[in-house]
């Protein structure tokens, strides 16, 4: 009986953790999509909101460019 209770408790805990992680992952992916769209649209207002002063854009050829100055 104690084993079954422990298994149920562990399953419930794992499901709650998984749902929270899925929500966090969804939020991060949405943030990334919004930032990429801002780059494509040259939306300075959004870029100023999402980029930090130390952000460096690394190009596909390996060169880096400071996007904010």
- What is the model's pLDDT at position 29? 87
- How far apart CA 34 and CA 43 sit, in angstroms, is 10
pTM (two decimals): 0.50
H helices of the chain, in order, are 2-41, 44-50
Given a contact cutoff of 8 angstroms between Cβ atoms, the answer to whether 67 and 55 are in contact is: yes
- How far apart CA 24 and CA 20 sit, in angstroms, is 6
**At which residue do the structure tokens 């040259």 appear?**
42
Counting as low any pLDDT under 70, the low residues of the chain are: 1-21, 65-69
- What is the model's pLDDT at position 5? 66
């Amino acid at each position: 009986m104690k084993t079954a209770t422990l298994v149920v408790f562990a399953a419930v805990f794992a499901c709650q953790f998984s749902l929270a992680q899925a929500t966090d992952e969804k939020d991060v992916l949405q943030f990334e999509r919004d930032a990429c769209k801002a780059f494509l649209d040259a939306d300075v207002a959004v870029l100023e909101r999402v980029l930090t002063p130390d952000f460096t854009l690394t190009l596909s050829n390996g060169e880096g460019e400071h996007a904010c100055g």
